[in-house]
Amino acid sequence: MGIFIRISADENAITQDMARKLTSLCPVDIFDFDDDGQPLIIKPEQEDECILCRLCLDAAPAGSLAIHKLYKQETLVSTGQPANG
């Protein structure tokens, strides 16, 4: 787990296709995916590498992904299209 940043995801809202997209979008390699089980994997050892670029937040379904700024007690939440719309 990161010291400054923690990332959380609603596993029910992130599809395997979305997990692949997030994995390819992230410039600091925070995400991975697993076709056989949990679709989105957040690599805890990479969380503090987050540069707050918002690429993942803009792509993920609204409310499905959050970046918690632990140093500010602030949370950024995904704003992409709803999972079913």
Domain assignment present for residue 85? The answer is no
| Residues 56-80, mean pLDDT to the nearest whole number | 96
Domain assignment present for residue 34? The answer is yes
Percentage of residues in the chain having pLDDT higher than 70: 93
Determine how many CB atoms are found less than 10 A away from the CB of residue 2.
Answer: 18
On the question of pLDDT at 82 being above 80, the answer is no
Beta strand 31-33 with 74-77 is: unpaired
On the question of pLDDT at 85 being above 60, the answer is no
| Residues 36-54, mean pLDDT to the nearest whole number | 93
Domain assignment present for residue 83? The answer is no
CATH number at residue 17: 3.30.70.20
| Residues 48-75, mean pLDDT to the nearest whole number | 97
| Residues 58-69, mean pLDDT to the nearest whole number | 97
Q: pTM of this prediction?
A: 0.89
What is residue 34's predicted lDDT score, i.e. its pLDDT? Answer: 87
Number of structural domains the chain divides into: 1
